Each structure stands twice: as C-alpha cells, then as structure tokens.
Amino acid sequence: MAKIGILGAGAWGIALGLVLHKNGHQVTMWTCVEKEAKMLLEDREHKTSLPGIQLPEDMKITMNLEEAVPGMDLVILAVASKYTRETAAKLKNLVVPKQKLLNVSKGIEESTLMTLSEIIQEELPGTDVSVLSGPSHAEEVGRGIPTTVVVGSETRETAHYIQSLFMNDVFRVYTSPDIKGMELGGALKNVIALAAGVADGAGYGDNTKAALITRGIAEISRLGIKMGGNVSTFNGLSGMGDLIVTCASMHSRNRRAGILIGQGKSMDEAMKEVNAVVEGVYSAKAAYKLAQKYHVSMPIVEQVNQVLFEGKNVNQALKDLMSREKRDEIVEGWIK
C-alpha cells in the first residue's frame, strides 16, 4: 500500500483518487476551497463536478497541505493549469529531494510558454516530476469505465512505479520517456477541440469535424516534433487518442464551450455557461505564440485565436481555412 496525496479535489483528482483507492492505496485529497471541502466531508460526493459518485469513508479530505504532501510516496497535482505554479510554490518547504510528483493537468503557461512539468521543476528543483495523459474523461474514470492512459517520466524506474500504482482491470497504463510530447499533445488538443465544438455549434457536419481532427493533429505534430517530441507520441494515446475523445464527447468542456461560441455566444458567455475551467481558452494564445516562435504553420490555432480574442466571425474563419493555398498532404514519393 502506498500513501498518495492528491492536490485538487475536482472531478479529475477525485476520479484518480478512486482508481488508487480501489487498488488499496491510502489516499488524501487536498482542496483550498472551503465550500468544496465541506461538501466532500459532509456528502462524500462532489455534487457539481462528479455527481452520483460516492467517495469512500476512508478517503481523507483536508485543506492542510501538511497533511497531503510530507511523507507521501506520490504527490499528484490535479489543479487547473492556471494554478499549477501557485500550487507548486506552496510546496517548497514540504517536499524533499527526489520526491515523486505527478502532474495530471494539461496546459501551457502563456507568459513563459512553459509546460506544466517545467513549471513544477522550476518551482521545486530536485523533485522527480512525471506526467499522466491520455483519453480519459473524469466522468467515466470515476464510474469505472475502461480507460487507457500514458505515464511519462524521465526514468523507466519511476514510470513503472507509477504504472504499478494505477493499473487495474479498468484502468490500463502505458509508459513513455517523452514528457514534452505528451504535454504538448495534452495541451494543444484542447485548442483543436474548441474548433471542433465551434463547427458543431455553427451547424457543420461530420466531414468538417473529421477534417479539423486530422489537420489538427498534423498541426500539433509539426510543432511538437520541432520542440523535441517523438512523432509516435502524437499518433498515440496522449496525442490522437486524447484529441479524438476531446473533440467528440459532451464530457469535454472545451467542445461544449466551442459549441456555444459556434451558436453565437462570446467566449466569456460560453465559459460562464460551461461553469468550469475551459483549458483550451488559456492554451490558445500560448499555442499561437509557440507556432510563431518555432516558425510552424498552425492555421487552425491561428483562426481559433481570432475567433476567441478578436471577435472574428466563425463562418469567415472556416472559409479562410478552406480557401488557403493548395498543398500536398504527403510530399515524398512522387514518381515525377
């Protein structure tokens, strides 16, 4: 049995906590939101984010980081990406060298263009930081629906250790050394999911969504490979797999927000109606900045930014994508 602290008691943190509890581990959930802590302690259920799923009585809920970090075999950061740096900074006097930390959120910091694991390593040097990603909606993981994810670590030893903590008959875990590629795939797919949702909301069809998904992964791969990621990562669970589930499911906050924008609502109105963190909105600007920094063509990301932040008409954005200059999909292999 391992002792595991989970920082962030939203839907994803709880869902992973339930997986680990099922495997016989001692789980402590931390939240800094008093209302959330009270609800979880009294009702043993997150009625807003994960309704209908009960927390075991022996799963500890706390607002005290000193009860969730020191002495833990693994500390999981499951806070929204915009709070990753703030949360990591609070741990400076609580973690020890080589302590295992696992980031399970997805995003890129707009001001620095750093991935979340890079932020954690900057704030907590000397710790052993891994990431978990893949097609995994909390609503399904919490109910025990079969799910497959990937753990990325710098060493095989750490990856296999975390894999062994999570693996069971409904939660399968693969391992990878490509932390950078996994994080880029996880963050950038949210931007493409916004585009897919916008297309749905505007009344376009399956052909349009399929085009956005496949050309979206092409954009993600171009940037990811330029930044040092492995092409296999973008074709795998944390790349194409995560992109498909996020673009296709109504569990996806990014897709739901996109649908509302496609129906004519502003970005702020859509985020308010979804009533949850829409990570793609925060990652969109960072993705465009990375595209410019690395001189990579990302036309879908560019149009998403114009729709979100410049008020561009959705139909005009799609028209501009469709009317771009002619291109080859595959360049190599022509006989003449």
Both tokens of residue 170? 């409904």
The one catalytic residue among 189, 226, 265, 285: 189
Whether 180 is catalytic: no
- CB-based contacts of 200, cutoff 8 Å, min separation 6: 209, 255, 258, 259, 262
Q: How far is CA 146 from CA 143, 171, 213, 296, in A?
A: 9, 6, 23, 36
**Is the CA virtual torsion 87, 93, 94, 100 positive or negative?**
positive
Q: How far is it, in rounded angstroms, from Cα 143 to Cα 127?
A: 32
| Residues 6 or more apart whose Cβ sits within 8 Å of residue 96 | none
Count CA within 13 A, CB hemisphere, residue 235.
4
Active-site positions read: 189
